[in-house]
Each structure stands twice: as C-alpha cells, then as structure tokens.
Amino acid sequence: MIRQLSYWSKKAYLVYPIQVLVGAIISILVSAETLNYQKKTYTLLKSSNVLNIIFAYKANKIWPIFFFSLALLQIYFHYLARLDVLPMPISSSGTGSTYLSYSNRRPLLKNRVITTMAAQYACKFLLKNLLLFLSFQFIDHVFIWTGGQCSSGSGTTSAEKCRLEKGKWYGGFDISGHFCFLVNISMILWMELHLFSRFVQAEDMLWVVNKWVRACLVITSVVLLIWICILWITAIYYHTILEKMLGCLMGYICPVFIYHILPRIELLHDYLYI
C-alpha cells in the first residue's frame, strides 16, 4: 500500500489539468442546452448537492483534520527513526509481542525533531491560509473589476459572503474557486502523503505502519478522490474553459510555495527542516 501511495501521490499533480482538458472537450462536444438540462435535472450536478456542500463549501473545516493527522504521523515516524533502538517486536511469554524498551534516548535530538517538525507544519498551515486568502482576494476582485456583482445588493466583493447572503454572484469573469481551492488543498495532502510514504520506505519502517496508520492513509485518499469527483462536475458543467484553466493553474500556488520555495529559504531552513 505504501509503495502504491508513493507512486500515485507523485503523479497526482497531473490529474487536475487533465480534468480541465477533458471537461473542455466535453463542453465543446456536448451542447450547452444538454449540459444545462442535466445540471437542472440531476441533484448531484446542482450547487446545492450534499457532496458540494460538505466537501467543497465546508472543506476548510475538514481539511485541517487530514493535514494535522498526516503531520502527526510524519512527526511520530521521524521521531522513531531518530531513536537508536527502534521498538523491535520480540516474542514474549505468549502474551503477544512486546517491545524493547527504548534505550539511548537522546532528549535533545528527540526534542529537536518534534519541535522543528511542529514549527514546519505550523508554517505550512499558516502559509496555506495566507496564500488562499490572497488567491481569493484576487479571484473576487477580478470578478468585480470585470463587471461582476452580488445580487444581494450588499455590494460585497466576496463570493463567499455573497453566497452566505443568499445572493447570486453574476456578471463578471469568474475564475473557478472550486478548482483553485480544491486543487490547492488536495495537492498539499498529496505532497504530504508522498513525503510520508517516501520516508517510510527510505527508513525501512514499513513494519511500523499498523492498521491505524493505514486507516488514516485510506480515509485521506478517499477524501482526495471525492474532491476529484467534485472537480469532474466543475470541469464539465461549470465555468468557461479559461476560468477553469486559470483556477486550476492557481491551484498550484500553495504546493509550489510550500514544497518548492519554502524549503529553499536558507534563513528558515534550520528552524523548519531536520
């Protein structure tokens, strides 16, 4: 399972542009009338469908659960890998395997591993929120500058606030918030799954992956697949091709900053990476 996860999490970044491309082809080949009829007929295609409500509009409430679960897993496995004596299962008096007691603990190194990685994940979380905040400021202002508005009459410049006011967000160039948001949060989890599976294999710690670890990885993967399903609907039934392309492109802002730029900031390297 770990090996498959390492492979698919490495390839995941290709899925979203392919969805935009396939969705564009379908939206060209299938008439707008047919797509609009299907959108109005099938519940799963409507904005109010339960998947969209729970896994898109409330994604900022569920995403931290998976992010910090993977963070804790990474910290735990890095902590174990830094111990001199890993807990090797040994047969005992028939009461199931017990573990060697840890020896040669190096408190300083143990603490440094935990504190450094905790700082790393705190920084990743803050950076994700900051970059998404700025991205949605950009998306919403482009919409307003291109003549868009909210039908609630409040004059809000936020699509989210407009929706909460039960208004209609119409009239402007509407870069896909679903693609921008769901690709960003998905790519962060894919990157964390990749880093974890690669570390477990590199440190030969596959035997530490118990049923609880596997359950965490499987549930996270299922949610990522649900977000891919939601984006198939977005890719086929919503937005213009350019709005989806730009939304998808903006979906890589967080992964690029967090996993390619941040690790290369020398000033922070000693504080965030071990």
Ligand X SMILES: Nc1ncnc2c1ncn2[C@@H]1O[C@H](COP(=O)(O)O)[C@@H](OP(=O)(O)O)[C@H]1O
Active site amino acids? 178, 239
Q: Are 234 and 14 in contact (CB under 8 A)?
A: no
Q: Give the max Cα distance, the chain.
A: 76
Rounded Cα distance between 1 and 201, Å, is 11
**Selected range binding ligand X among 77-85, 117-125, 230-238, 249-257, rule: CB under 6 A:** 230-238
Residues 139-178 that bind ligand X (CB under 6 A): 163, 169, 174, 176-178
What spatial distance separates the first Cα and last Cα of the chain, rounded to whole Å?
26
Q: Which is nearer to ligand LARV2P2M, 89 or 147 (CB)?
A: 147
Instruction: Give the Cα-Cα-Cα angle 177, 178, 179 (nearest 5 degrees).
Output: 95
Q: Which of 23, 178, 238, 246 touches ligand LARV2P2M (CB under 6 A)?
A: 178
Within the chain, residue ranges assigned H as helices are 2-11, 15-29, 32-41, 50-52, 59-82, 107-145, 159-164, 177-202, 211-237, 241-250, 253-256, 266-272
The site string for ligand X over 43-62 (x = CB under 6 A, - otherwise) reads ----x-x--x----------
Task: Give CA separation, 131 vs 10, 98, 258, in Å.
Answer: 22, 46, 10
Q: Which of 233, 250, 254, 258 touches ligand X (CB under 6 A)?
A: 233
**Selected range binding ligand LARV2P2M among 18-26, 113-121, 129-137, 202-210, rule: CB under 6 A:** 129-137
Q: Which does 49 bind (CB under 5 to 8 A by kind): ligand X, ligand LARV2P2M, none?
A: ligand X
Question: To the nearest whole angstrom, how small is the minimum distance from the Cβ of residue 227 to ligand LARV2P2M?
Answer: 11
Q: Are 159 and 135 in contact (CB under 8 A)?
A: no
Residue 244, amino acid: K
150 contributes a contact to ligand LARV2P2M by CB under 6 A: no
255 contributes a contact to ligand LARV2P2M by CB under 6 A: no
DSSP sequence for 240-253? -HHHHHHHHHHTTH
16 contributes a contact to ligand X by CB under 6 A: no
The site string for ligand LARV2P2M over 47-66 (x = CB under 6 A, - otherwise) reads ---------xx--x------
**Selected range binding ligand LARV2P2M among 7-15, 34-42, 108-116, 124-132, rule: CB under 6 A:** 124-132
Residue 98 pairs in a beta bridge with 90
Rounded Cα distance between 263 and 8, Å, is 23
Residues that bind ligand LARV2P2M (CB under 6 A): 56-57, 60, 123, 126-127, 129-130, 132-133, 136, 159-160, 163, 177-178, 181
* Residues at the site binding ligand X, with contacts judged by CB under 6 A: 47, 49, 52, 163, 169, 174, 176-178, 230, 233-234, 238
